[in-house]
Structure 1
């Protein structure tokens, strides 16, 4: 899934070792629950399989203005498509303002994010 998101033209997520605040990067991936009817059809022998997909939260620092987007990617395990989730599916706005995102390891890691900015601010204050 990660490799697909790195090459998918609508997301072009950065590789984990190349993430910057102004790039598109994966914050979180999780399995999406299938619809109840699909599961019941599978359990009752009506369907052969339940198609699984993943919810992916992308921090899109590469957009102007930057945003947070939720995507539905599937089918798992061989992903070949992703679509931006609609507001009815997320129960919130999609995309969200970048300022509403939680801090990630990218911002907190010593070799990326705010370290240079904090060091520069610290030297200017002293």
Structure 2
């Protein structure tokens, strides 16, 4: 069974949004003293897994869509900016810096997949 690129965009958009929610919510949840036992949620392995998953989805979804379907670089540029923000967040200057850049970057990657999905839908309509 072949999974089509728009399906990857929906999966990638969802995973990027989950990443943004995770990055925004974990520091807030951990700040409550009664929930401090949930510190395992602020695990670098989880964070790097989401980043790696995002990179995989860019290569599986955005790049083939660009090359084979719509030939527009906007989704790739938005994703690159998003990953750039995530990389800035990894500098770990302070907690607010990390949260703002990581959440912003994850949202940008989500937007890139949404834009790609919209471009694929419009290019499909023009081919018929």
Normalising by structure 1, report the TM-score: 0.25
Structure holding more strand per residue: 1
* Structure number with larger C-alpha Rg: 1
Structure holding more helix per residue: 2
Higher RCO, Cα 8 Å, sep 6+: 2
